Structure 1
Amino acid sequence: MSATEKDTLLVKTTVGLHGRAIANHFTNLITTSDKLRIKKCRDCLKNCSYQFCTLDSLLTSVAGDVENGLVFAGARVSEIKEILPVQTIIENLKTEYKAAAQSFA
């Protein structure tokens, strides 16, 4: 994990909502080109701009093609240094909570 704050940008989704995404080939296309068009969205929340399909772009990333799909990340993505199993994350949270609770006792 080596993302920095400069590796993300705000993109406007097809329903008008903004999200922070990791910059890649796809975000370059949707922010610099009006040539990327779709015929029809599927399962949309509302009518969209048809510039791209948010659902399709997310599914592309989930399938492993992270250069040609949307990969959303928080503003603090640069703080992530490793990918941990969920069980480890929960255990870490419990440990931190217990330590914080003891400091107030």
Structure 2
Amino acid sequence: MIYSFEISQTFARPTEGSEPFDEFLDRVLDAADEIDLELDYGADLEALRATWHVTVEADSSFDALILAMSSLRTALHAAHCATPNWVTRKELESVNPVDSGDLAVA
């Protein structure tokens, strides 16, 4: 099954170099192409914020989420972006989906 996710990130400008943020984002897309990851983004260039649009194929939504997150991280690393505070698989496993039938209007 095909799954799509939006993952938002805010970046910090590196202390060295002056590469424009949009060029960095394009390098991430190039890296994603190399690993056959379907990836696109929307960005706020001033705030250094990107919303990644990731599409993957997997057997379950959880497997798709893991694949999307790990593939995006791989593309970021290939573009020379460190991800020291990346969410772990254990943290993702602790997320509980919300059943909209359980929600009530306040």
TM-score, shorter chain, exceeding 0.5: no
With the length of structure 2 as denominator, give the TM-score of the two structures.
0.24
- Give the structure with the higher percent strand: 2
With the length of structure 1 as denominator, give the TM-score of the two structures.
0.24
The structure with the larger Rg is: 1
